[in-house]
Amino acid sequence: MKFEGINLLDVPLVCGLLSDIELEVTSQHDATSLLEGLKAGAWSVEQVTIAFCKRAAVAQQLVNCLTEIFFDEAIERARQLDRQRLACVNTELLPPLFGLPVSLKDTFAVKGHDTSTGLACYVNEPAGEHSAIAAMLLDLGAILYCKTNVPQSVMTGDSDNHVFGRTLNPRNVSFTAGGSTGGEGALLALRGSILGIGTDISGSIRVPCVCNGTYGMRPSVGLVPHGGTRELTVPGTDGVRSTVGPLATTLRDCALFLRTVMQAGTWRYDSNVVSLPWKNVKRKERLRIGLVEDDGVYTPVPPVRRGLKKAGDLLRMSEQVEIVPLTLPNVQDHYEDLLSYFTLSGSEHYLEQFSRTSEPLVPSLAAIGLLSKPASTLESFFALNVRRAEATRTYLRLFLENQLDAILMPAAPHTALPWDTWTSATYTGLWSYLDYPAVVIPVDVVAASDLMDDPGRAKYGPNDTELYQLYTGPERYEGLPIAVQIIGYRHQDEELIATAEMLDSIINGEP
Amino acid sequence: MKFEGINLLDVPLVCGLLSDIELEVTSQHDATSLLEGLKAGAWSVEQVTIAFCKRAAVAQQLVNCLTEIFFDEAIERARQLDRQRLACVNTELLPPLFGLPVSLKDTFAVKGHDTSTGLACYVNEPAGEHSAIAAMLLDLGAILYCKTNVPQSVMTGDSDNHVFGRTLNPRNVSFTAGGSTGGEGALLALRGSILGIGTDISGSIRVPCVCNGTYGMRPSVGLVPHGGTRELTVPGTDGVRSTVGPLATTLRDCALFLRTVMQAGTWRYDSNVVSLPWKNVKRKERLRIGLVEDDGVYTPVPPVRRGLKKAGDLLRMSEQVEIVPLTLPNVQDHYEDLLSYFTLSGSEHYLEQFSRTSEPLVPSLAAIGLLSKPASTLESFFALNVRRAEATRTYLRLFLENQLDAILMPAAPHTALPWDTWTSATYTGLWSYLDYPAVVIPVDVVAASDLMDDPGRAKYGPNDTELYQLYTGPERYEGLPIAVQIIGYRHQDEELIATAEMLDSIINGEP
């Protein structure tokens, strides 16, 4: 490929299309500090909105990360908010996300715009009403300005489809930006967005975080309203459910999103939520963290091992963390059951949607083989539920008996991969299967010293060996992000964030 | 029937088997005040335990409400707790339910005792470990001393089976004590228990409350640990799930139970809970209550109409409540879908359990006809889920658009009924289908003035007319309790309790 290895991260800075203040607004803040500035009047909402629209437009031309683009609406709303601010006697009365630009994965319905999710059969069918999270973000004062790319089927690690094409990884355009929230990941990496909202059913938020070096969180199912999100499965499908969560440039922005949403009465927006209150938990003095080196299915490649070791060593050296080596039971079995949940209705429903416009499978969808699985029965579904209930009991015991505050492990056995080779998600899928919240934090990038090593090291069978050998050394991979995953207990998402903030500050320094 | 109409409520008082102090302990307190006395040392735990064991033994001989009886264990534990109390320097350090006797529905496993649920095939199979709620209650300091009777199949309104026989209604032995938590209801009515724990999947807590004039609550699914409860459905069955809740003699005792459990970290006991924190919400100054006169399926009989009118009038007269007349949409359809959820796997699994010992159906099980429904498919299950999701959206809108704090309606269209005639549960089942929490409070008893009226008043079809005509006037029904139901929004169980306490104090006076 001619553009092999091209890194586009700096183009927005040098292209000359953004003013100094636009570069400052988009480069030097996270959502939390941007919000402070917006409320304090450091910039107008319009100014900030235009800055992100411009940078998103640049990002779009570089890596093809956007789907629906509605900058005009956003700027119009920004002006309204500026007028609201002028009329406001007390800035504390401004809505919590006042003027903050937020980008959304294409799966969320935004009134007046398509929710095609990159399927030709849904093109030119503008949504009649907002999805729950879009409505909620607007009520909270946010600015919606664009939606972002996904894979055909919203199920693969490559955000590639026949409507919008493929999103590239801005650090290396011959690598995937991840999926299914890959457009968000790439847009965030180029800082065309400060806060992106995705969904995750087996890693769809966390995989793009790994690929793009962003922070992100898979909340427990139901904590963030999911109503009005387009799903390509048979309506009413139950079992493992998709969850809505943030991608951001700092962990405190993930906390900002979750806290703001949870404090705002999610139950009013979606009849199916788990409306947990935000408790303002205090950070603990000391943490017990289970350290998992690999999941027993795939062996982490050298840079990922180095990144995890670096994180573990830093935590061990601190006074605040006790590390407990941990082995995860039965991940392979659980992952197979997860795939069975995903294919309860077989592939017919997917294929029917593709066939309406005769669109072929994109390569990544063909590669994962998910659509060759047969449909299931009610009996098999109940049997899956029995096995999952048993697994949740086992993992609860693991947490309790080891008195864990969280588990630290790789977010994937590898970094971003070349196009269409990300075919498995055991590291992230396990926690979707169990419905445990998980945070991804970047810890390093691939260095020149991260040499390829003996494939014999991959000891979990031929699939492991094959995946392991994708890492060919720093020549192709240097500079790609290395990420770890921090997993907490189900519904204790706030506690997980508090734990992850402490770990992140030890590993990456105070923000 | 020779014993037609016999009322046994006063027998424990006059039988001479309980001492004055035992009568005081069992008659003149609710769990909240008993607990205060226990912690303050007004009585020893042993004294209180023996009092309830004795009264439960009397109740058992009167109405056959118990299944497993383990008084010896209870008294032994009571002595241990008394020793613990002696060694305790600060009574505030005593566990929250210190020394409180709690009875459990037979479906909860208690180590060392059967969980037969009245099925012969499970007799003499003592549980190897406690169910989650039994373990939790013990950790909280409660005394477990007996389990209580249920219907064969745990699905009917008559607690009658071939292992333990039929539980009678202590107010009128030819009437049902309700089901499926009917043993608890009868035991509570006779004050052989001060706090009983049941399960409810379509009214199994609320129906016995109606029949026995007790308070009770169906919490939202998952708030109280359900792990280790015997279910007779196919393992892994999903859809509408059973929930664990209290039956008590006051509403504040229902609050006591829920608060204590929710504050104690339910997630440690069950990997499947929704571990909501208790928030100590403040009571509102004013409430908006939706008043539902009937559910559009069954017409309430005269005493139930009078009881609801009395409650509504008292609330209207108070300064604190605004009443909004309300009609519930599509209850019949939703109830049919609820029954479809219950019969996803058809009847084979039930019948197989009965056939192991060749036990025939009890009359109430034959009467409800549930076991003649065919098994379903995964497609039909998903279709049920779609309809239910739509219904939850509709009911959320109903709550929001009317700005309701709660709905007030009958808990059933009738009072307790003669044996084996309670064949429907639309009034309670709707809220199970939607997973809304509901509280039952008694408001009156059938009076001599509650005459039978024109069956033409039952305008919802032949089933309605038939059920309506079961009410033959005060001759048979006088003295039976009349109850109403107060329904709150899903997962806002604490808010519902606060609302119900305010309504209860207006309707029934301060406790």
Q: What is the pLDDT of residues A452-478, one digit of tens each?
A: 999 999 999 999 999 999 999 999 999
B192 falls in which pLDDT band (50, 70, 90)? very high
A74 pLDDT higher than 70: yes
Mutate to test the interface with A, among B238, B271, B380 (most CBs of A within 10 A): B271
* Chain A residues touching chain B at CB-CB below 8 Å: 227, 234-238, 267-268, 271-277, 279, 344-345, 375-379, 381-386, 389, 392-393, 395-396, 400, 489-492
A372 pLDDT higher than 90: no
Q: Which residues of A touch B236 (CB under 8 A)?
A: 381-386, 389
Tell me how far CA of residue B245 lies from CA of A162, A199, B410, in angstroms: 52, 34, 19
The amino acid at A98: F
Quick one: which of A135, A113, A133, A134 has its CA closest to A124?
A: A113
From A235, A274, A345, residue closest to B386, measured CB to CB: A235
Domain locations in chain A as residue ranges: 11-234+249-275+288-508
Distance from CA of A22 to the nearest CA of B (A): 42
Q: Which residues of A touch B389 (CB under 8 A)?
A: 236, 271-272
Distance from CA of A188 to the nearest CA of B (A): 33
CB contact under 8 Å between B236 and A268, yes or no, is no
Known catalytic residue: B432?
A: no
CB contact under 8 Å between B237 and A382, yes or no, is yes
**What is the token pair recorded at B11?**
């027998």
E strand spans, B30-130: 66-69, 101-105
* The CATH number fitting domain A11-234+249-275+288-508, selected from 3.40.50.300, 3.90.25.10, 3.40.630.30, 3.90.1300.10: 3.90.1300.10
- Report d(CA A399, CA A402) in Å as an integer: 5
B208 pLDDT higher than 50: yes
Mutate to test the interface with B, among A229, A376, A382 (most CBs of B within 10 A): A382
Known catalytic residue: B372?
A: no
CA A473-A149-A63 angle, to 5 degrees, is: 50
**What is the token pair recorded at B98?**
């210190």
Distance from CA of A281 to the nearest CA of B (A): 12
Give catalytic residues of A, as residue numbers.
Answer: 105, 180, 204
Residue from B103, B131, B153, B180 carrying the catalytic annotation: B180
- For residue B323, with 0-12 CB atoms within 10 Å meaning exposed, 13-18 middle and 19 or more buried, which class applies? middle
Tell me how far CA of residue A280 lies from CA of A259, A261, A398, in angstroms: 9, 14, 26
- Report d(CA B441, CA B506) in Å as an integer: 12
**What is the token pair recorded at B279?**
């928030």
- For residue B88, with 0-12 CB atoms within 10 Å meaning exposed, 13-18 middle and 19 or more buried, which class applies? middle
Residue A190: per-residue pLDDT: 98
B230 pLDDT higher than 90: yes
Residue B510: per-residue pLDDT: 73
Distance from CA of A229 to the nearest CA of B (A): 13
Residue A3: per-residue pLDDT: 58
- Report d(CA B22, CA B256) in Å as an integer: 23
Contacts 24+ apart (CB under 8 A), A465-471: A467/A298, A467/A413, A467/A414, A467/A423, A467/A424, A468/A298, A468/A299, A468/A301, A468/A413, A470/A301, A470/A414, A470/A417, A470/A418, A470/A421, A471/A301, A471/A302, A471/A303, A471/A414, A471/A415
The amino acid at B65: C
B302 falls in which pLDDT band (50, 70, 90)? very high
Q: Which residues of A touch B396 (CB under 8 A)?
A: 267-268, 271
**Which CATH fold topology does B18-270+283-508 show?**
Amidase signature (AS) enzymes (3.90.1300)
Q: Is the dihedral of CA A224, A226, A231, A233 positive or negative?
A: positive
Query: Which residue from B minimizes the CA distance to A275?
Result: B491
From B344, B395, B491, residue closest to A378, measured CB to CB: B344
Contacts of B244 (CB under 8 A, 6+ apart): B133, B197, B198, B199, B219, B224, B225, B226, B229
Residue A369: per-residue pLDDT: 87
**Cis previous bond, B180, omega within 30:** yes
Q: Which residues pair with A66 in a beta bridge?
A: A148
Query: Which residue from A minimizes the CA distance to B376?
Result: A378
B1 pLDDT higher than 80: no
**What is the token pair recorded at B154?**
């745990």
CB contact under 8 Å between B237 and A385, yes or no, is yes
**What is the token pair recorded at B355?**
């056939």
**Helix spans in A215-301 (H):** 251-262
Cβ B260 vs Cβ B31: under 8 Å: no
Residue B511: per-residue pLDDT: 61
Q: Is the dihedral of CA A133, A138, A143, A145 positive or negative?
A: positive
Cβ B226 vs Cβ B104: under 8 Å: no
Quick one: which of A332, A477, A331 has its CA closest to A407?
A: A331
Residue A91: per-residue pLDDT: 86
A1 falls in which pLDDT band (50, 70, 90)? very low
A270 falls in which pLDDT band (50, 70, 90)? very high
B123 pLDDT higher than 80: yes
Residue A88: per-residue pLDDT: 87
Residue A511: per-residue pLDDT: 60
CB contact under 8 Å between B267 and A396, yes or no, is yes
Q: What percent of chain A has pLDDT over 90?
A: 96
Residue A4: per-residue pLDDT: 72
CB contact under 8 Å between B491 and A267, yes or no, is yes
Write down the mean pLDDT value for chain A.
96
Exposure string of B441-467, with b = 16+ CB inside 10 Å and e = fewer, is bbbbbbbeebeeeeeeebebeeebbeb
CB contact under 8 Å between A382 and B345, yes or no, is yes
Tell me how far CA of residue A286 lies from CA of A83, A242, A255, A511, in angstroms: 47, 32, 20, 20
Mutate to test the interface with B, among A267, A378, A496 (most CBs of B within 10 A): A378
Mutate to test the interface with B, among A233, A234, A271 (most CBs of B within 10 A): A271
- Report d(CA B101, CA B260) in Å as an integer: 15
pTM of the predicted protein model: 0.96
From B235, B392, B395, residue closest to A382, measured CB to CB: B235
E strand spans, B296-392: 321-325
Instruction: Average the pLDDT over B257-283 and give the result.
Output: 95
CB pairs under 8 A between A and B: 101
- Percent composition of chain A: helix, strand, coil (DSSP 3-state, to 5): 40, 15, 45
Rg (CA), chain B: 21
Q: What percent of chain B has pLDDT over 90?
A: 96
CB contact under 8 Å between B271 and A234, yes or no, is no
CB contact under 8 Å between A381 and B238, yes or no, is yes
A89 pLDDT higher than 90: no
B142 falls in which pLDDT band (50, 70, 90)? very high
Write down the mean pLDDT value for chain B.
96
pLDDT in tens, B74-90: 999 999 999 999 998 89
**What is the token pair recorded at A97?**
């996300």
Residue B114: per-residue pLDDT: 98
- Per the model's pLDDT, the better-predicted residue between B91 and B382 turns out to be B382
* Chain B residues touching chain A at CB-CB below 8 Å: 227, 234-239, 267-268, 271-272, 274-277, 279, 344-345, 375-379, 381-386, 389, 392-393, 395-396, 400, 489-492
pLDDT in tens, B441-467: 999 999 999 999 999 999 999 999 999
B373 pLDDT higher than 90: no
Instruction: Average the pLDDT over A100-116 and give the result.
Output: 98
Instruction: Average the pLDDT over A197-218 and give the result.
Output: 98
Residue A276, number of CB atoms within 10 A of its CB: 22
DSSP code for B405: S
pLDDT in tens, A219-260: 999 999 999 999 999 999 999 999 999 999 999 999 999 999
Q: What percent of chain A has pLDDT over 70?
A: 99
Residue B132, number of CB atoms within 10 A of its CB: 24
H or E element, residue A101? strand A101-105
Instruction: Average the pLDDT over B212-235 and give the result.
Output: 96
Q: Which residues of B touch A228 (CB under 8 A)?
A: none
